[in-house]
A = this chain, B = another copy of it.
Amino acid sequence: MFILNNSDPVPLYKQLYNQIRELILSGKLPADTRLPSIRDMAIELSASRNTVDGAYQELYAEGYLYSKPRSGYFVSALNQDTAPQTPAAKPGRNDYLQGPPSNFTYDFHPARLDPESFPTELWRKCFVDSLRRNSEQLVQYGDPQGDWGLRCSIQSYLERSRGVLCDPGQIVICSGLQQSLDIAAHILKENHSVIAVEDPGYHLPRSVFQNHSYTIVPVPVQPGGIDQNRLKASNSTIVYVTPSHQLPLGYVMPVANRLALIEWADSGGKYIIEDDYDSELRYHGKPIPSLQGLRPTGNIIYSGTFSKILSPALRLSYMVLPYSLLASYRKLYRAYFPSVSLLEQRTMANFMEQGHWERHIRRMRMIYKKKHDLLLRSVETHFGKQAVVIGYGAGLHVVLRLPESSHTEVEIIDRARQKGIRLFPFSEFHVNCQPEATTLLLGFGGLKDCEIEYGVAILSRICLSDPVAGIPVDPK
């Protein structure tokens, strides 16, 4: 009745298990059938008792068999209507395989960093050191708010470089802006339901707050930052802003507007979410101090990240909660777990304590300033007065406003793709406002110097009917 095959890699007891299970499920062994005793079955199969016992134990544990003391094992009553179907043929592995990584020669995506910039050797040392010192900590859950040492390092860095005044107890370590916003949306939900966002602006806050059933109010952005008259006229009680370097337009909010915005928040328990995503990268003068630093006791949620300077793949960011929200945070997140690996947090804390982080910022600022300046020069050479550059001087991208006569965004992106150029569609930043003219977002972080020059030259041919200069000699 049963066939066991010694040369099959499946263990014998498992072969027997499979065959009995099949008979039960197909109904060929009906309910309450008594199975042969272990001894009899072993003799019949010329197998060891352990083999039979293993199969019976497993069938028993899964409920296919029941046992009666001193009588042996019997087949359980299964509802045959609910017997498992034979699994459908598995879909081919390739059905969900992503295509090969995009293979653009000139990738102007704004979220890419310099490809050779990751401090591999220093990171390895900091990691190995933190692994050696913390292996006993790895057997338990850590602090849900984040490693205390890392929070202390971030606090002191933020105070020195961003003017943020806070206590490490206000800092929450997150696995990226999305998680910070999720937490913010959650703890604010009790008393708030409408959030204003910059238009044009980053899509992520819109989608996270939408998930939490908030009403999203897009408010136009001017050179001085979000339009505060429109903000005041709205019924929003939360606003998400990028005051140091408006995403995507690059504007810096002047201090008068900052103070007015803080005043708005102070009047009646409103909240500001200040996303300071790339403030370390300012190429002229010092970085602009934060809103939080202007009113450390105000209703400001400050958010920062290691994604722009160090690596977006590490998924390490942080948020500073105002005192007014700490109690709600603790109440709602008491039962949660940390979201970032302890090893990675300790590695980052090591990296900061040893001064590598601030040295790395300085190094990256020089590297990106060079790229930034080269991009501006290339745009001047190839677009001349036919493009207006806005939002320059900081970050990892600039914005180019093209003459009204130029092609549409869709046409340009499509033609660029054919020439091996990847552009991130600027229109994705828009909710209601539409730019008067075609606007390009040129991220330069991931490009080599020669690629910037050549990429901009090709772009000018694509965008302009009458480009200013010829294409330089292909550096490839």
Contacts and interface: CB of A to CB of B under 8 A. Distances in A.
A25 to B, nearest CB: 9
A95 to B, nearest CB: 6
B340 A315 contact: yes
Interface residues of A, number: 111
Contacts of A203: 335
Contacts of A255: 62-64, 76, 78
B82 A296 contact: no
A307 B139 CA distance: 9
A314 B138 contact: yes
A420 interface: no
A77 B259 CA distance: 12
A175 B90 contact: no
A295 interface: yes
Contacts of A252: 61-63
Interface in A271-328: 284-286, 288-289, 293-297, 307, 311-316, 323, 326
A150 to B, nearest CB: 13
Given A82-B259, A340-B315, A169 B97 contact: yes
Contact of A62 (B113, B289, B338): B289
A209 to B, nearest CB: 13
A70 interface: no
Contact of A297 (B88, B139, B165, B446): B88
Contacts of A316: 341
A43 interface: no
A294 to B, nearest CB: 4
Q: How many copies does the complex hold?
A: 2
Secondary structure of the A contact surface, majority rule: loop
Interface string A216-250: 00000000100000000000000000000000000
A6 interface: no
B341 A339 contact: no
Nearest to A211: B186
Contacts of A76: 254-256
Nearest to A344: B341
B263 A337 contact: no
Interface stretch (A121-129, A369-377, A404-412, A449-457): A121-129
Contacts of A336: 178, 204, 207
Nearest to A340: B315
A295 B141 contact: no
A296 B117 CA distance: 44
A2 interface: no
B256 A139 contact: no
A257 interface: yes
26 contacts: A57-B284, A61-B284, A62-B254, A76-B254, A76-B256, A79-B260, A82-B260, A82-B263, A84-B295, A85-B295, A96-B326, A97-B148, A111-B141, A112-B139, A115-B136, A118-B135, A118-B138, A124-B131, A127-B131, A139-B313, A179-B339, A186-B211, A211-B332, A315-B340, A316-B341, A344-B344
